[in-house]
Amino acid sequence: MGVLLGLFVGFGLVLVRHQLDSTFSDVDDLRRFSNLSTLASIPDIRGGWFDRGRTAQLPTMTDGVSVASEQYRILTLRIRIMIDRECAQILLFTSSAGAEGKTTTAVNTAFALSQIQQDKVLLIDADLRKPGVRGCLTQVANGRLGPPEGLLGLVNSPGGLAPECFGRIGKLYILASADGSADSLRDVSSESLRKTLAKLRKQFKYIFIDSPPLLPMVDAHLLADLADRVVLVVRANRTRRETLARALQSFDMSKVLGFVLNGVDYSRARYGPVYDNYVKAYTTSTKPKRGAKFQIR
């Protein structure tokens, strides 16, 4: 009786927790929530086997044969096809509340595009209050991130679009700030920024912008007005339905290209065995040693 009672109580607690959990666990949850397209389902890459540090956020640069890097490439191809069809250039990455992986998604997608595209790709860190691109790339950049002023340095530069204003990793050009701005609202809403982006359109085929989240501040809404299309990043088992719904209500939905579901636990997904088979069949002989990194030229 004690064993049966324990099983019953345990099952009841699991059921209650499941009912109270308003987050998204997989693509099916997200598709039931909104009619917007789900562009990709990215596996949880925190603490990868190849590196326990920040480089675990960058599978496209450090683990080119992983499931995560393949999914980022699939996402990149879908995005390129969609924005080429619309003749769009500037793509903004944002999320509802923060800590959902928008910077990681923007960096990996921009780098993946630079590897398969002959035209120049630019990545801009426009989260001027709390920039994250430079910190994300520090361990793989080897000092190639450009001036610490980032976007604001280019906007305020009398020399215009000089090469020394940009960082560069391979074919990816970067504008990454080192410190937060004291008045990001003034900077984001300035006419100088609008004119600078207009000039950048002539120099780069694709421009990816990492922006602040939608709900806490107005910056992302102002930046979205300067972009052609927007990608919303949702983190599995973290982003709540009510939070995402509130963000969508406050935003111009006509510019949204779709969702990226980030941090999915593939081991619990119905399609998980497909990726297990890929790892066993395709990566066994090509897997780098623990801590190894691919060389970026």
pLDDT tens digits, the chain, 297 residues: what are they? Answer: 888 777 765 655 544 444 447 999 999 999 999 999 999 999 988 644 333 344 578 999 998 888 999 999 999 999 999 999 999 999 999 999 989 999 999 999 999 999 998 889 999 999 999 999 999 999 888 888 999 999 999 998 866 688 889 999 999 999 999 999 888 999 999 999 999 999 999 999 999 999 999 998 899 999 999 999 999 999 999 999 999 999 999 998 999 999 999 999 988 777 667 776 776 677 655 554 444 444 454
| CB-neighbour burial class of residue 272 (10 A; exposed 0-12, middle 13-18, buried 19+) | middle
User: Could you tell me the sign of the dihedral formed by the alpha carbons of 66, 70, 73, 75, in that order?
Assistant: negative
In the chain, the largest separation of any two C-alpha atoms, in whole Å, equals 80
How do the residues of the chain divide into helix, strand and coil, expressed in percent and rounded to 5?
Answer: 45, 15, 40
For position 190, what pLDDT does the model report? 93
Nearest to 98 by CA among 132, 72, 125, 123: 132
Vertex 247: Cα angle to 245 and 252 (nearest 5): 110
Reading the block at residue 271, the tokens are 């399609």
The pLDDT assigned to 284 comes to: 59
DSSP state, residue 23 = B
Give me the amino acid identity at 135: G
Lookup: tokens for 84: 């080429």
Domain ranges of the chain: 24-282
Contact 294, 55 (CB under 8 A): no
| Three-class secondary structure of residue 264 per DSSP | strand
198-to-39, 154, 193, 226, 228 alpha-carbon distances in Å: 27, 13, 9, 9, 12
Q: If one looks up domain 24-282 in CATH, what number appears?
A: 3.40.50.300
The amino acid that residue 234 corresponds to is: V
- The pLDDT assigned to 9 comes to 58
189 with 222: CB under 8 angstroms?
Answer: yes
